[in-house]
Amino acid sequence: MVDACDGCGTEFMVGSRFCYSCGSPREERRHAGPTASWAHFLEFHTIKHALGLPVASLIAFLAGLGCLLAAIAVGFIYSVQNFADFQAIQFWRMQWLLAAVAAFVAGILLKQTGSKETGSIE
């Protein structure tokens, strides 16, 4: 749900405490139940802020986690009837794990580091 200013009806910017149009303060909304308190931690910007990752690295990290879950799920979804099935399932797991490694490496490479002060050679 989108929060709107009570004074002018303009939608608030994400994370703002005041309306950018009229300047009225944003009222704090109380969560509507016990599930809403933990649901805040599943929001994208909350995860991004908690992990301290840029958007591209966070997306790569989440893709890597998805690939890890898919590698685990392959064992629950498919059953082994013979040795050929076992080899096929292990091959699928390896593919998902390689995709997870590629996503994690991409996340590391996309992570922007702060400006480093390099010493000059004199």
Q: Is residue 46 part of a domain?
A: no
81 within some domain: yes
Structural domain includes residue 17 = no
Q: Over the chain, what is the mean pLDDT?
A: 81
The answer to whether residue 42 is domain-embedded is no
pLDDT at 33: 52
Q: Would you say 60 and 104 are in contact if contact means Cβ atoms under 8 Å apart? A: yes
Cα–Cα distance, 101 to 89 (Å, whole number):
18
23: region left, alpha or beta (phi > 0 left; psi from -120 to 50 alpha): left
Per-residue pLDDT tens digits for 45-59: 788 888 888 888 889
With respect to residue 120, please indicate whether it lies within any of the assigned structural domains.
Answer: no
Angle separating helix axes 55-77 and 83-110, nearest 10 degrees: 170
Domain span at 82: 51-110
Q: How far is residue 20's CA from residue 8's CA, in Å, rounded to a whole number?
A: 10
Number of domains in the chain: 1
**Within a domain: residue 103?**
yes
**Domain assignment present for 88:** yes
The per-residue pLDDT for 115 is 45
Per-residue pLDDT reduced to its tens digit, 1-38: 567 787 787 888 877 888 888 888 877 665 555 555 67
